[in-house]
Amino acid sequence: MTTTLLFSVFIGIAILLVLVLYFKIQAFISLLIASISVGLIAGLDGMQIIQVIQNGMASTLGFVATVVGLGSILGAILEHSGGTKVIVSFMITKFGIKRAPTALAISGFIIAIPVFFDVAFIILIPVIYALQRKTKKSLLLYAIPLLAGLAATHAFIPPTPGPVAVADIIGAQLGWVILIGAITGIPTVLVCGLVFGKYIAKKIHIDAPELQEENIEENNLPNIGIVFSIILIPIILILANTTIQANDTIITVYGTVASVFNFIGHPFIALIIANLLAWYFLGIKMGYTKKKMLDISSKSLAPAGIIILLTGAGGVFKQILIDTGAGKVIAELMTNLGLPVIIFSFFAAAIVRIIQGSSTVAMITAAGLVSPLLSMHTFSSPQLACLVIAIASGASILSHVNDSGFWLVSQYLHLTEKQTFKSWTVMTTILALTGFITVLILYSFV
């Protein structure tokens, strides 16, 4: 029976990869087919598998769908209002041209909290073009720090979809994930963004494309204080709630305050508050009509829908491993091998990422494999958060030709495939390894 269960997981993952890579079938359908295959080989009948699919989707999407949807709308409003450009302009003004790479790394780290990686990168491309034209240094000196900041936050810090989905699947609290993700992200961006960026810029000189006629309205941009406030308010509320709920003394002495923060510090309410503030201060007050704000919000949910369904399918994969007992078998095998869960988490995500390209699919698949293992040990809330970041680190490694991000960076920075490998691919690998080493150290102390 043990051999059959392990074989079912192996075949399920193989089917997933073949469907995604060879047949180019959407990952949502591929994950469901892989889950069904595991169930059939493991001995579940048809109706049992249907019930597992229903339970897996339901248990996952109740939380993830709400957070990802609210985060997508917030990011779209910030994008359309010009808030991202305001942050970068402010950071470069404060840091100066000589320290522009640092300003871009910090800007990317902040902007990627509410805005998707690819959207934020495309919006900020004109900024790094302008810097290169002014300084005549390699475009990579500015692009790599920006990409590092965007990529680290996109992988490590909710409410970006990847860490939200993984946190839900393995049962980690978002407040702790934000805290551990931020702590891990700082040295990671420093190493793969600033240190490596400076190094590779000396090796590869890239000029920005010739300046085209631009029609950019700079006279109707939001106030930097408002933009920062709207981004930070939900994060502060969530972290405050996590801190309060972890302190029994505060709960006992200040019960009412603790109850209030337990409500407004929940990701649902914190993101709703941020959305309402963004709708008014970055929308209505800046002259956007209510209809325009509705259009912006509605369009932002299209890409969110894909991520939500994909996450739900990941929940199904997790549930099928639990219900068939395959997850327990993997856990026992790991225990016999003496392989720590956090190391398995990283390598499981890394292998799937390298083979099929998508970091989101890698995160969700790895989370599904790790989740059944957690019942074998006792993990604190900070440790569960560390597991989320370990998975996110593995899922960020070695971006290459099967990853859309590889081609996005290549085309916008006008790099050859060889130059993209030497810059972007190496950067993502350094990001993954630095992130994992950092979170491994944190894991040993929490």
| pLDDT per residue as tens digits for the range 89-106 | 888 889 998 999 999 999
- The amino acid at residue 61 is L
Residue 218's pLDDT is: 55
Contact criterion met (CB below 8 Å) for 164 and 116: no
Residue 36's pLDDT is: 96
Residue 11's pLDDT is: 93
Which whole number is the average pLDDT over 226-231? 91
Dist CA 275 CA 297 (whole Å)? 10
Q: Higher pLDDT residue, 51 or 248?
A: 51
Q: Please provide the average confidence, as pLDDT, over all residues in the chain.
A: 88
Contact criterion met (CB below 8 Å) for 322 and 371: yes
Task: Give 329's pLDDT tier (boundaries 50, 70, 90).
Answer: confident
pLDDT digits (tens, 9 = 90+) for 250-289: 777 778 888 998 899 888 999 999 999 999 999 999 999 9
Residue 215 in this model has a pLDDT that exceeds 50: no
Residue 297 in this model has a pLDDT that exceeds 70: yes
Counting residues of the chain whose pLDDT is more than 90, the rounded percentage is 48
Entry pTM: 0.80
- Quick one: which H or E segment has residue 343? helix 341-356
Task: Give 442's pLDDT tier (boundaries 50, 70, 90).
Answer: very high
Q: Which of 110-114, 118-122, 176-180, 254-258 has the highest mean pLDDT?
A: 176-180
Task: Give 17's pLDDT tier (boundaries 50, 70, 90).
Answer: confident
Residue 335's pLDDT is: 64
In the chain, what are the domain boundaries?
Answer: 2-445
Residue 355's pLDDT is: 79
Contact criterion met (CB below 8 Å) for 400 and 406: yes
Look-up: residue for tokens 């941020």?
A: 274
Task: Give 184's pLDDT tier (boundaries 50, 70, 90).
Answer: very high
Exposed e or buried b per residue across 260-272, where buried means at least 16 C-beta atoms within 10 angstroms of its C-beta: ebeebbbbebbbb
Task: Give 154's pLDDT tier (boundaries 50, 70, 90).
Answer: very high
Residue 216 in this model has a pLDDT that exceeds 50: no
Q: Of 314, 305, 306, 324, which is closest to residue 349 (Cα–Cα)?
A: 314
pLDDT digits (tens, 9 = 90+) for 58-94: 887 888 888 888 888 988 898 888 887 888 888 888 9
Counting residues of the chain whose pLDDT is more than 70, the rounded percentage is 98
Angle at 318 between CA 312 and CA 321, to 5 degrees: 145
Residues in Cβ contact with 232 at an 8 Å cutoff, skipping those fewer than 6 apart = none
Residue 219's pLDDT is: 59
Q: Higher pLDDT residue, 42 or 212?
A: 42
Task: Give 213's pLDDT tier (boundaries 50, 70, 90).
Answer: very low
Dist CA 416 CA 433 (whole Å)? 25
Residue 244's pLDDT is: 87
Max Cα–Cα distance, the chain, nearest Å: 69
Residue 212 in this model has a pLDDT that exceeds 60: no
Residue 400's pLDDT is: 86
Contact criterion met (CB below 8 Å) for 406 and 441: no
Residue 211's pLDDT is: 57
pLDDT digits (tens, 9 = 90+) for 389-399: 999 999 999 99
